[in-house]
Structure 1
Amino acid sequence: MTTLTRDPARPAPGERARNGRGPRLSGPAWLVWRQHRAAFWTLIALTLLCVVVMVLLRGQMMDYLDTLSSSRRKPGSLPPDFEKYSYRLADFGGYLGYLPVLAGVFLGAPLIAGDLETGTAKLVTSQSVSRRRWLTTKLAMPAVLIALSAAVLAAVFSWWWHPVKTLTEQLEWTSGIFFDVTGVMPVAYALLTFSVGAAVGMLLRRTLVSMVVTLGIVVAVGVVWDRFRLDLGHVLSVSTSKGVGPGARLPKLPAGAVQQGQGAHFLTSSGDRLDWTTCLGTSDDSNARTACLESKHVIGWSVDYLPISQMHTMQWLGAGIMLAVSAALVTFIILRARKRLL
């Protein structure tokens, strides 16, 4: 007579490798996946769907560009009927801009608040799993999935945008539609809002309230970011010295550059810059205004701009700030959980 020491339906250690099955989640990782698998699978499905749509739309755009005759397309420009493809690109970039909102409100906010509200956190931490291990796993799994999804979407969208990003003013890289959804920015932005949601959920301990508050904070962060995004760049200037009278042209900006400020400035012989409204109210006579400008030694125009070559540097700087804030929030969550969680 033998004593049964293990469940015969469960494979012994090492047997899983022999029967061809791969590794499975266990412990806190298994629990986190089971709890949030609907949200995780939804994020994966949406990512794959967006990738497929972007690949198809880019293919249509490239087919259209390839079929253009040389008479309809000038070097460095796009025909007027390209607008519908520009709108598709800009609209999809706007849709991708909602990823940080989804990460913060639907993944971050309910993550800890749901467990605190239902008592799951108390049950889990009363077992052999430590609070730190449970909380680390709780934060790491969705963070990795969010980062991977954001990175994939950013890479495919950048691949779609790259062939035409310097050919039309409708696709300005300084716009959040392109700046915030390409490069490293989507990853950092989504992780920031996810960390905000997780911190709010731990503090408020109620799922619905945490989601509403997180939404408000994410919107506020977006407003502040839109206001200060371009301050990360170094504004350059280009000027002319052939006068400002009839026939005088404004200086030409490099390809992909975006003009900054309210407009062009008058440039004087001493290098000073005057607002374009200078001498505007002296008289309705153009000769009088010309004489006024000559008395101020105006010799040409000066225009401020941001070159597209600074885009990646600005993105990495902005991403670094966001990741630093995210790290601070995660540290706050873990330290507070050690003292007061349940």
Structure 2
Amino acid sequence: MTTMTGTRTSPAATGRGPRLTGLNWLVWRQHRATYWTLIGGTVLAAGWMVYQHMGMMDTLHALGWPHPKSADWERNVGSGALTWTGYGLGFLPILIGVFVGAPLIAGDLENGTAKLVTSQSVSRIRWVAAKVGVTVLVVLAGTVVLSQAFGWWWSPVKDRTSVIPWTEGAVFDNTGPVLTALTLFTLVGGVAIGMVLRRTLLSMVVTFGFAVAVQIVWSHFRLQLGSPVSLVTHTGVMTSPPNVPNSAFQVDSWFTTASGKLYGWGTCVESTEKAQQACLGQKGIVGWRVDYLPISQMSSMQWFGASVLLAVTVAVVAFIFVWGRKRVV
């Protein structure tokens, strides 16, 4: 029997050009169906998004973009496909964690492949590193392509919140580095869960709960990654709050006094205008304060959030190697 380390190359490794050899080839061979599914799905999805982008640009140019003649041109663009694609991509971290991460090592531990491999001249750490490393590279490449394609599709209407707001997960989580960071985190989280539980089906169920929890927590803290900008007026409050820029996301609004004290916008809701004016004067309210997040902060918010996710991902990877060295078989 040829050892798994293999200085000898496989038949697939012959010929010109770079080829996988040794343990990396073995990992690719073992999981080739999964890897080719990820690659094929990425190519098809990216191609479809490119096609949709071209269709959007045709519609925009017909409307006179970038200076449309109609004031309600956004309604003619149609955001259904864009929105649903964004929601679909939002499930990608969950799917990758459950169907790729959880069974990656749990399957080998359950069926005994891990003992077979590590009984050869392959160390446990090399085996874990190859399994995780090759999978991470495939997922990394795929999510980068998808996030770039989706961001390119959305970019012509990014400053129009009426089409699809940039603060929604359908956009924020699927452009820039966030999709990659979220997916890698759930991937290695699934690997770690599988290593600990050592049962494929149980690991997939637990990983599903873990991935859903990650999405819920992330959606709760997403907008807290930015620093709201305040818009303050001192011209009274009998009119509506001041308008924020078209592409901005309004966080909240208050009544404000000359000293800067804030009251909720429902303060002084009286039955008559005279009573309301008396209430406002008694409290010293002189204007509005509106807090909003400008779209210019989107990139910095994404990179900040992604850096946190990647840092936690590195910590999970470190746990995988520590656990793999001592207790993987």
TM-score by length of 2: 0.92
Assess if the C-alpha contact under 8 Å between 1:78 and 1:167 holds in 2.
no
Instruction: Kindly provide the CA deviation profile for residues 40-60 of structure 1, in whole angstroms up to 9, marking residues without a partner as x.
Output: 111111101111110111111
> Which stretch has the larger CA shift, 164-173 or 122-131?
164-173
Q: Which position in structure 2 is the counterpart of 1:199?
A: 192
Q: 2:287 aligns with which of 289, 292, 300?
A: 300
Q: How does 1:303-322 map to 2 (within 5 A)?
A: 303-322=290-309
| 2:272 equivalent in structure 1 | 285
Structure 2 distance, partners of 1:71, 1:64, is 11
Distance 1:186 1:284, change over 3 A: same
State the match for 1:6 in structure 2.
Answer: none
**Paired residue for 1:326?**
313
Matched, 1:29 2:56: no
- CA–CA distance in structure 1, aligned partners of residues 163 and 62 of structure 2: 22
* Match 1:157 to one of 150, 160, 163: 150
Given that 2:178 and 2:306 are in contact with CA atoms closer than 8 Å, whether structure 1 keeps it comes out as yes
Using the alignment, how far apart are the partners of 2:95 and 2:142 within structure 1? 12
Q: Is 2:59 aligned against 1:68?
A: no
Q: Which amino acid aligns with 1:314?
A: M
Structure 2 residue 102 is matched with structure 1 residue 109: yes
Change in 2 beyond 3 A, CA 1:105/1:287: same
Q: CA deviation at 1:288?
A: 0.8
- 1:248-267 alignment runs, 5 A limit: 248-261=239-252, 264-267=253-256
- The CA deviation at 1:250 is 2.1
In the alignment, the residues of structure 2 paired with residue 300 and residue 78 of structure 1 have an alpha-carbon distance, to the nearest angstrom, of: 33
TM-score after normalising by structure 1: 0.89
Please say if 1:54 is aligned against 2:49.
Answer: yes
- Alpha-carbon separation, structure 2, partners of 1:168 and 1:180: 16
Aligned residues of 2:226 and 2:293 also touching (Cα < 8 A): yes
CA RMSD across the alignment: 2.0
* Structure 1 residue 120 displacement after superposition: 0.6
d(CA) in 2 for partners of 1:127 and 1:209? 28
CA drift of 1:249 comes to 4.1
Letter of the 1:56 counterpart = Y
Residue 339 in 1 paired to residue 326 in 2? yes
Aligned AA for 1:296? K
- The number of aligned residues is 319
Deviation at 1:100, TM superposition (A): 0.5
Please state how far the C-alpha of 1:168 moved relative to its aligned partner. 3.0
1:80 and 1:228 mapped to 2: Cα distance?
A: 31
Q: Give, as a single letter, the amino acid of the residue that structure 1 aligns with 2:70.
A: R
Report deviation, 1:71: 7.1
8 A Cα contact 1:267 1:274, kept in partner = yes
Q: Flag the 1:284–1:152 CA change in 2: closer, same or farther, 3 A.
A: same
- Are 1:272 and 2:272 matched, yes or no? no
> Does the 8 Å contact 2:157/2:163 carry over to 1?
no
Is contact 2:74–2:163 with CA below 8 Å preserved after alignment? no
Cα 1:294–1:38 change in 2 (3 A) is same
Say if 1:148 and 1:302 are closer, same or farther in 2 by CA, change over 3 A: same
- For residues 162 and 23 of structure 1, the distance between their equivalents in structure 2, rounded to whole angstroms, comes to 36
Look up the SS of the partner of 2:79 in the other structure.
helix
Equivalent position of 2:210 in the other structure: 217
Shift of the alpha carbon at 1:72?
4.2
Equivalent position amino acid for 1:308 in 2: I
Residue 255 of structure 1 and its aligned partner are, at CA, apart by 3.5
Residue 141 in structure 1 maps to residue 138 in structure 2: no
Identity %: 50
Distance 1:329 1:199 in 2: 7
How far the C-alpha of 1:81 sits from its partner, in A, is: 2.7
> Residue 338 of structure 1: CA displacement?
1.2
Distance 1:295 1:23 in 2: 78
Cα displacement (A) at 1:97: 1.0
Q: Quote the offset at 1:310 in angstroms.
A: 1.1
Kept in 1: contact 2:74–2:162 (CA 8 A): no
Q: Which runs of 5+ in 1 are unaligned?
A: 1-11
Question: Matched residues in 2 for 1:128 and 1:54: separation?
Answer: 46
Once the two structures are superposed, what CA deviation does each residue of 1:80-126 show, in whole Å capped at 9, x if it has no partner?
A: 333xx212111111111111112101110000000001111100111
- Structure 1 residues 340, 258: closer, same or farther in 2, change over 3 A? same
Gaps of 5+ in 2: 1-7
Amino acid at match of 1:266: F
Q: Is the 8 A contact 1:93 1:181 kept in 2?
A: yes
Is 2:171 aligned against 1:182? Answer: no
